[in-house]
Amino acid sequence: MAEYVTAADVLAQVGAPNPSQWETDWATLVAAAVNDGIDVLLDGAAIIDPPPAELVVAARYAATEAYKRRDVAFGVTGYADVSGAAFRVARDYLTGVAPIVARYRAGWGIA
């Protein structure tokens, strides 16, 4: 498994300069989940070390979304779309970065 994002990256991205043990543990779990998820989306593609910057940025976006979900009461973000419907966080946190990751899949894109 490649490491696209670390717990330290997640904590820096969400603005937690002095994290508690709970926040550090949560960031560690989130980073591992995002790294595993991106590996699944890559479908066996060989990624160089260090990974391309585009994948690192995508991983940080996904990890930030996953980390912040714990702050969202009842799955509603507090934002609404143009029709006034509230955004929910029930979707997969990798959905937003899946098109970026797909460019590196085996047999696809530029990998």
pLDDT in tens, 23-43: 999 999 999 999 999 999 998
Helix (H, G, I), strand (E, B) or coil at 9: helix
The residues facing 76 across adjacent strands are 88
Radius of gyration of the chain (CA): 15
- Whole-structure pTM value: 0.81
Confidence of residue 71 (pLDDT cuts 50, 70, 90): confident
pLDDT value, residue 93: 85
Instruction: State how far the Cα of 98 lies from the Cα of 10, in Å rounded to an integer.
Output: 19
